[in-house]
Amino acid sequence: MDDLIIAGEKFSSRLIMGTGGAPSLEVLDAALAASGTELTTVAMRRLDPGARGSVLDVLRERGIRVLPNTAGCFTAGDAVLTARLAREALGTDWVKLEVIADERTLLPDPIETFDAAERLVADGFVVLPYIGDDPALARRLEQAGCAAVMPLGSPIGSGLGIRNPHSIELIVEAAGVPVILDAGIGTASDAALAMELGCDAVLLATAVTRAQRPDLMATAMKGAVLAGRQAWQAGRIPRRRYAEASSPLTP
Amino acid sequence: MDVVVGAGIIGLSIAWRLAREGRPVTVVDPAPASGASHAAAGMLAPVSEVTYTEEPLLRLGLASLSRWPAFAAELAADAALPPHDPASTPSPLPSGATGAGDGGEATSGAGTTGGIDSAGGFFGGGISAAARAGLDLRADGMLDVAFGADDLAALGELAAFMEKLGLPVERLTGRECRRLEPMLAPSVRGGLLAATDAWVDPRRVTTALLAALERRGVPLVPARVSELLRDGDRVTGVRLAPPASPGEIPAERVVLAAGSWSGELANVPVRPVKGQIMRLRSAQPLLGRCVRGLVHGTPVYLVPRGDGELVVGGTQEELGFDTRVTAGGLYELLRDARELVPGVTELEVADVVAGLRPGTPDNLPIIGPSGTPGLTLATGHFRGGVLLTPVTAAIVQGEDADLATLCSPARFRDIS
């Protein structure tokens, strides 16, 4: 598979993992290993980066790059503060920007997200914002200097897959930065579809961590992302209304 | 002599069982019974707490649950707890709760002490009057409830998993849930009753353990252990932080039961996982059994005590040794508790506390000889310290070889 490049950094895996929801660190570790991921998000609220034996140690042991996120923030102010604390604690200026509109849907707040993105870009951050499947907002965030855009397939943890593939295609078509499908992946075919639509990477957590066998689901996701990428590169055949014989019917 | 480092429920129980065998033992702790045991709700709920990938923890939990009645009865007798309140009869065991999983756990120890009632379920042997009155040990089950369609579907998946494991759970409609617990919110859609699950008041247990140790003349040294004494590859005792005098206690064996702090004294993979928990108080108990639920995907539990106290827990945070009680932590507990049982808002706030659960990489405790001569470990009990107390003491005493393998320190590299 060709490399994924975000802000000049190369990744040979196009599967980005989240860490939430795993029953234990050992189960999480096995799942991360099976996924082959090289970049993994960690919620910085309620996590002390200095504490021993935490999820950060699991990532360090595996040599997986940490992508701090601002999960749990409801305002641009909260998100900017959380990002700065993460930069100080982890020594990375990358941040997955997540500003939530309400607890029930966990849908991203577009106005607060845009506000925070502008401020973080100005402050030298590499910003990867989590957004709805909105092509206009994606374009505006790219223009504001974000290093990638991360539209959702469906709400966080819902496992509903990609509800509006057309919007994702529109975002991909217009984007000059990587498009990372974030949130809503339920099973391997969802991840493959994201890549077939032209996304550059997929971010998922719950689909793996809450599966009955997380390591096996992680393996499935790794294969799905690879297959989807290859299918995108290979170029699918056009859809036809009627059959077209694959071998000649008449001599 | 054995030195037990840590006077939480685990360390105290080990010391007590050793003392009962007539072994000389000393306990060291700067603040006995003030850590995770003080914060814990005391759920003895291996069935309703089971999750995917954690079948080994389930086995351990069921084995420990079956040991609780005898453990409690013996403790109540040793601590001379009065079997007062004769009107309070031992809790009736649910019909049909016959220990379907694991081929029916042995009701180990049941009948060794007077005052034990009829047997049945994982919780073999019933509960002695003294254990019920003195320790608030109750086996009236755990009701796991769901509200929205999403949470109900999640509960259904969990029920299927439990049934596959042969666990005795019963699916209930919302109406049936509210018949059992009338204070539940009307919006409850359905639930799952784990009738064999139980609970106990951990604060009463540690108080009773301290009394039992005093009656048996076990010294409790109120000092902090600054390091383990080592001679070559052997552990030979403990060094106490100043101003303790004498500054060292030699030991044939050191039992490290220091919970989250165990990693400060030996190389063990234990990390603190913060939990905030609150205690509310009412004149009349609001609930007849433990209730837990998923509220929009977030778990919350309510544990009723005989005296009207209601324990609401618990957050789960990876913040090192931080034990601050936060606005957000309490807000989330109350928000979710109120969804389950709207009446909680009328109750008095009696106590808010944050404790540190000793977490391990695989969520199983680390119990047994460490590989370093002279050092035995009994730590890393994470969310299950109270439940796993009797089986931990048994494993340290060399019983239950099968379960000991499950918890063996040998499963980790570089323990010393």
Whose tokens are 């064996």? That residue is B253
Instruction: Say if A102 is an interface residue toward chain B (CB within 8 Å).
Output: no
Instruction: Say if A89 is an interface residue toward chain B (CB within 8 Å).
Output: no
CB-CB contact of A95 with A59 (8 Å): no
The percent of residues in chain B predicted with pLDDT above 90, rounded, is 77
Closest by CA position to B279, among listed B347, B208, B205, B207: B347
> Residues B154, B159, B160, B166: what is their CA dihedral angle, to the nearest 10 degrees?
160
The conformation of residue A212, written as its DSSP 8-state character, comes to S
Residue B55, helix vs strand vs coil: helix
Q: Burial, B385: exposed, middle or buried (Cβ in 10 Å; 0-12, 13-18, 19+)? A: buried
Rounded distance, CA B123 to CA B66, Å? 5
In chain A, % helix, strand, coil (3-state, to 5) comes to 40, 20, 40
**Per-residue pLDDT tens digits for B118-167:** 334 556 557 888 888 899 999 999 999 998 888 899 899 999 999 999 99
Q: Which of A26, A47, A55 sits opposite B362 (nearest CB)?
A: A26
Q: Across the interface, do A25 and B359 touch by the CB < 8 Å criterion?
A: yes
Q: Take residue B304 and report the two structure tokens written for it.
A: 């009723």
**Per-residue pLDDT tens digits for B295-354:** 877 889 999 998 899 999 989 988 899 999 999 999 999 999 999 999 999 999 999 999
Nearest CA in chain A to B358: A53
- Which of B41-45, B47-51, B120-124 has the weakest average pLDDT? B120-124
Q: Take residue B85 and report the two structure tokens written for it.
A: 């309140």
Chain centre to alpha carbon of residue B308: 20
What pLDDT is recorded for position A93?
Answer: 95
Closest by CA position to B289, among listed B270, B268, B314, B306: B306
Which regions in chain A score pLDDT beneath 50? none
Q: Which residues touch B22 (CB under 8 Å, ≥6 apart)?
A: none
- B318 Cα to chain A: minimum distance (Å): 5
Stretch B278-304: mean pLDDT, rounded? 90
Between A55-62 and A25-35, two packed helices, what is the crossing angle to 10 degrees? 30
Best to test chain A binding among B318, B379, B411 (most A CBs inside 10 Å): B318
| DSSP per-residue letters across B158-210 | HHHHHHHTT--EEEEEHHHHHHH-TTS-TT--EEEEETT-EE--HHHHHHHHH
What pLDDT is recorded for position B131?
Answer: 82
Q: Kindly report the CA angle at B289 between B330 and B339, in degrees rounded to 5?
A: 40
Rounded distance, CA A59 to CA A38, Å? 9
A209 belongs to an annotated ligand binding site: no
B78 pLDDT exceeds 60? yes
Residue B223, helix vs strand vs coil: coil
Catalytic residue annotation of A: 96
Residue B290, helix vs strand vs coil: strand
Q: Which residues pair with B235 in a beta bridge?
A: B230
Domains of chain B, earliest start first: 2-40+205-270+361-411 (3.50.50.60), 43-140 (no CATH), 142-194+272-359 (3.30.9.10)
- B308 Cα to chain A: minimum distance (Å): 32
Strand order in the sheet with B25-28: B220-221, B25-28, B2-5, B253-256, B375-379, B366-369
Alpha-carbon torsion (A222, A224, A229, A233), positive or negative: positive
Instruction: Say if A60 is an interface residue toward chain B (CB within 8 Å).
Output: no
- B168 Cα to chain A: minimum distance (Å): 20
Q: Which residues touch B298 (CB under 8 Å, ≥6 apart)?
A: B332, B336
Nearest CA in chain B to A55: B318
What pLDDT is recorded for position A1?
Answer: 81
**Per-residue pLDDT tens digits for B79-120:** 988 877 544 444 444 433 333 333 333 333 333 333 333 334
pTM of the model: 0.85
What pLDDT is recorded for position B122?
Answer: 59
- B99 Cα to chain A: minimum distance (Å): 24
Rounded distance, CA A132 to CA A152, Å? 5
- Using only C-alpha atoms, what is the Rg of chain A? 18
Instruction: Say if A55 is an interface residue toward chain B (CB within 8 Å).
Output: yes
| DSSP per-residue letters across B359-379 | E-TTS--EEEE-SSTTEEEEE
What pLDDT is recorded for position A248?
Answer: 75
Q: Burial, B360: exposed, middle or buried (Cβ in 10 Å; 0-12, 13-18, 19+)? A: buried
What pLDDT is recorded for position B410?
Answer: 94
Question: Across all residues in chain B, what is the average pLDDT?
Answer: 88
Note the CATH number of domain A4-234: 3.20.20.70
Residue B239, helix vs strand vs coil: strand
Whose tokens are 């649910």? That residue is B94
Terminal Cα-to-Cα distance of chain A (whole angstroms) = 40
Q: Which residues touch B67 (CB under 8 Å, ≥6 apart)?
A: B108, B109, B390, B391, B394
The conformation of residue B43, written as its DSSP 8-state character, comes to E
Rounded distance, CA A185 to CA A25, Å? 22
Residue B125, helix vs strand vs coil: coil
What pLDDT is recorded for position B139?
Answer: 92
Q: Which of A47, A52, A211 sits opposite B319 (nearest CB)?
A: A47
A187 belongs to an annotated ligand binding site: no
- The domain ranges of chain A are 4-234
Instruction: Say if B324 is an interface residue toward chain A (CB within 8 Å).
Output: no
Rounded distance, CA B254 to CA B104, Å? 35
What pLDDT is recorded for position B102?
Answer: 39
What pLDDT is recorded for position B120?
Answer: 44
Alpha-carbon distances of B150 from A187, B41, B156, B186, B350, rounded to whole Å: 17, 27, 10, 17, 33
Rounded distance, CA A149 to CA A171, Å? 9
Rounded distance, CA B223 to CA B27, Å? 10
The percent of residues in chain B predicted with pLDDT above 70, rounded, is 90
